[in-house]
Chains A and B, each alone.
Chain A
Amino acid sequence: MQQINFLRLQQEKIRQRAQRTLYLQLTSFSILIIYGLVVIGVFSYYFVLGREKSLLEGKIETARSGIKQEISIETKQTYLKNKVTSLTNILESSRNHQIIVQGILSLLTQGVEIKNFSVSSPTDMVFSGKAINFSSLQNFMDNLKKGELAEGLTVKSARIESVTLDKDGGYGFSIRLSLSGVNNG
């Protein structure tokens, strides 16, 4: 015999409502817990970071005072760094000049004097001089044509800028040389 339950729908409704309420309560509670954890986490992290900051600041102060004790060494190191950057360029150009001077000296022949030389770039130079007579000038030019100066320094190209005949019979000349074997740096 089948029983008729007129309250079935009502009961189902109540059951669903109770379920929904329970679900809501559980969810809300979970969110609250998570929220609480997040808040506690943020605060804890904030305090951890604050403590870490003071620790780091302490260590930094210790390191700074350690560096201050080495001021004498740092002063010397700064002095050397300041000088060595200029020294690098001066020594390089000085070495090039030295080779060129040696080259000029090797060019000298009897009856020839070099009046002046100037280096316009590491590889280009101009010099002027005077030969006491034509034969001296020719000897000098022959010497120049060989193209070998000193320590691997060779003449890449030579250009006679001017030749003048002086009143005393001497020959003035000006020559531009392009050299190879000199450091360009």
Chain B
Amino acid sequence: MDKKTSFAKIDQKKIILAVFVIIIILSITVFRNTIQNTITLYKANRELRLKLSGLIDKKAYLENLDDGQLAEQVRQTEQVFPSKKPVMEFLNSMKYLAFEDKVLLGGFSLKPGQFELDRQKKVKALGDFKKTKLENFEINLSVNGTFDDIVKFIKDLEKTAPLLSIDKIGLAIKNKEVDPMIVSASLAVTVYYQKAPDTIPAVDAKVIKLSEAENKILDQLSIFKFRPLIPSENIYQGRTDPFKKSE
């Protein structure tokens, strides 16, 4: 009798367990898709929340930037470190610098290569931030003048836009007996430029931030002296048009 009771108890537990197992199996079978979709949706929402938080931060960061200040920094950067090969700008700067520092400029040797055409490109938002290639061209030149003027010219040269570096220098004191001492300097300089990016990062991509150190670098550009090119229509181009009607 006792055995029967305990057997019944075991049966009872087995039945409950079996019901449990059946329910779980049925649930997994019937509601598997719903559960899977719920898990997928949960993960997708977690990613969407992260994306939204990134986009809100990016929007707030961009809204806080001063468009006017950025435009000024871009203008200054473009003068010092242009996006197009600055051949004419360099020659113009040399002409003015030699005049200002009272040195005689000559012996130019440069191979500017291919000229770039003025084409307006529409900036596209695409992928991540891609840095463009740094480019340069070399120029050899010689200057003659007093020692002090040559020294001033060399110092000023490195603070002249477009950005350049003196790679080689040859200095010969032609005559130290005369006062002031006449010096001849031959210089090899590298002029730098870098194309502006054609694309900006995609809307969802991380915001590009300038660090404090990078902002300081941009501030340093104000020490470079830019001598603007005179627009070609303002340059005297020979004889006046005799048939032009006076206004």
| A and B assemble together | yes
When distances are taken between beta carbons in the complex, the residues of chain B under 8 Å from A24 are 12, 15-16
Contact yes or no, A75 B200, CB < 8 A: yes
* Interface range, A side: 35 or more
Could you mark each residue 150-188 of chain B with 1 if its beta carbon is under 8 Å from any beta carbon of chain A, else 0? 010011001000011111111111001000000000000
Bound together, the chains give a CA A59 to CA B220 distance in angstroms of: 41
Contact yes or no, A27 B59, CB < 8 A: no
When distances are taken between beta carbons in the complex, the residues of chain A under 8 Å from B15 are 24
Task: Please report the total number of B residues contacting A with Cβ < 8 Å.
Answer: 78
Contact yes or no, B203 A97, CB < 8 A: no
When distances are taken between beta carbons in the complex, the residues of chain A under 8 Å from B197 are 78-79, 82
Contact yes or no, A85 B131, CB < 8 A: yes
Knowing A70-B59, A73-B65, A87-B217 are in contact, say whether A79-B170 is a contact too (CB < 8 A): no
Contact yes or no, A23 B12, CB < 8 A: yes
Choose one: B19, B131, B172; the contact of A113 (CB below 8 Å). Answer: B172
Contact yes or no, B158 A43, CB < 8 A: no
Bound together, the chains give a CA A38 to CA B234 distance in angstroms of: 83
User: In the complex, what's the smallest C-beta–C-beta distance from B122 to chain A, in angstroms?
Assistant: 10
Knowing A78-B200, A101-B169, A105-B171 are in contact, say whether A56-B12 is a contact too (CB < 8 A): no
Bound together, the chains give a CA A66 to CA B192 distance in angstroms of: 36
* Known interface pairs A27-B16, A67-B58, A113-B173; 8 further A-B residue pairs with C-beta atoms within 8 A, sorted by A's residue number: A53-B44, A56-B49, A79-B77, A80-B214, A97-B167, A111-B176, A113-B170, A117-B168
Q: List 19 A–B pairs whose Cβ atoms lie within 8 Å, in order of A's numbering.
A: A24-B12, A24-B15, A31-B19, A31-B23, A35-B23, A46-B41, A56-B48, A71-B200, A74-B62, A76-B74, A77-B70, A78-B208, A82-B131, A84-B217, A87-B221, A97-B166, A105-B154, A105-B171, A113-B170
